[in-house]
Chain A
């Protein structure tokens, strides 16, 4: 199948959106799995309540050995690391962080998702965009690679001195992991 780039997000009730099916490198099963995964991703980022509910939602869509790769920080491997080393420091720093899916497409077991992230650090609102490449295995993510420009977040941190202690703790935690 060669899928269209979709700017509509799949239903978030777990039902797969009906998508055009064609010959090629994506089977109908892969297309359905991708639509369901993007639906869950959309729902998970829409309005996270707190770190644990965010992680509880996402972990069911991850393989146990999920690997998350993004700029400037070491890869995070596994669900526990996702919760404690990725999500908790992130929501500690940006409690109102949320995301809007702007487009996505599937090719075989790979999904590309364009996501707009919005949040506030101190009183500084920021927006940043990412294109995530998600690799699925049996309908669950085995890898997430983020093409992300984190400069807007860092700029908001720089302009919000009250956020510096939290940011420093985040950086120290990351360095301890990599030591």
Chain B
């Protein structure tokens, strides 16, 4: 097995553990797979980049509180030598209404389903950068329709 194949295998395994941690909604397990100086950027209206593990933990905790059963159903996974890209369908049930720029959207029990892609860069066997791109308009439509 070549060095690169071994590295790809390691990254694929990391991607699997990372996905399992998210789909178990296990914040500690998720954060254990991140570097201390990790960065998380959700490319969605009304969000700011989180830099450093404390800020990233806080951001993730917010998502888990909002969508306690959050789940990423993977549609495609592509492994690189220092990254992976995962296309998935994110689903979840709102724990309460979501406040976005002063407007309250959705209510407890509202289901959301939105396509997203994660671009995840790996350093030293851990997640160093996670960029998430998702269609927030679709999510807002679902939440707005549920008001």
Interface residues of A (CB under 8 A from B): 1-5, 20, 22-24, 71-72, 103, 105, 107-108, 110, 112, 114, 128-131, 133, 147-152, 154-155
Question: How far, in angstroms, from A122 to B137 measured CA to CA in the complex?
Answer: 22
Checking A110, A128, A154 against B78 with a beta-carbon cut-off of 8 angstroms, the contacting residue is A110
B34 interfacial contact with A, CB 8 Å: no
Contacts A71-B135, A133-B87, A151-B45 given; indicate if A112 touches B78 (C-beta within 8 A): yes
Checking A105, A148, A151, A152 against B133 with a beta-carbon cut-off of 8 angstroms, the contacting residue is A148
Instruction: Add 15 more A-B contacts to A2-B5, A71-B137, A112-B85 (CB < 8 A).
Output: A2-B7, A4-B82, A22-B5, A24-B4, A71-B138, A72-B138, A107-B78, A107-B79, A114-B131, A128-B43, A131-B119, A131-B133, A147-B117, A147-B133, A147-B135
Question: How far, in angstroms, from A112 to B76 measured CA to CA in the complex?
Answer: 12
Instruction: Specify the chain A residue showing the minimal Cβ separation from B8.
Output: A2
What's the nearest-Cβ distance from chain B to residue A109, in Å?
A: 11
Instruction: Specify the chain B residue showing the minimal Cβ separation from A103.
Output: B119
What's the nearest-Cβ distance from chain A to residue B96, in Å?
A: 22
B130 interfacial contact with A, CB 8 Å: no
A to B contact number (C-beta, < 8 Å): 91
Checking A24, A103, A108, A112 against B8 with a beta-carbon cut-off of 8 angstroms, the contacting residue is A24
Contacts A24-B8, A103-B119 given; indicate if A148 touches B135 (C-beta within 8 A): yes
Whether A2 lies near B136 (C-beta < 8 A) is no
Contacts A2-B7, A24-B8 given; indicate if A114 touches B119 (C-beta within 8 A): yes
Instruction: Specify the chain B residue showing the minimal Cβ separation from A106.
Output: B80
| Number of chain B interface residues as a range | 20 to 34
Checking A107, A133, A149, A154 against B43 with a beta-carbon cut-off of 8 angstroms, the contacting residue is A149
Whether A151 lies near B137 (C-beta < 8 A) is yes
Contacts A2-B4, A24-B5, A112-B119 given; indicate if A151 touches B80 (C-beta within 8 A): no
Closest 6 CB pairs of A and B: A151-B45, A22-B4, A147-B133, A107-B78, A5-B83, A131-B133
What's the nearest-Cβ distance from chain B to residue A130, in Å?
A: 7
Contacts A107-B79, A107-B80 given; indicate if A149 touches B117 (C-beta within 8 A): no
What's the nearest-Cβ distance from chain A to residue B122, in Å?
A: 9
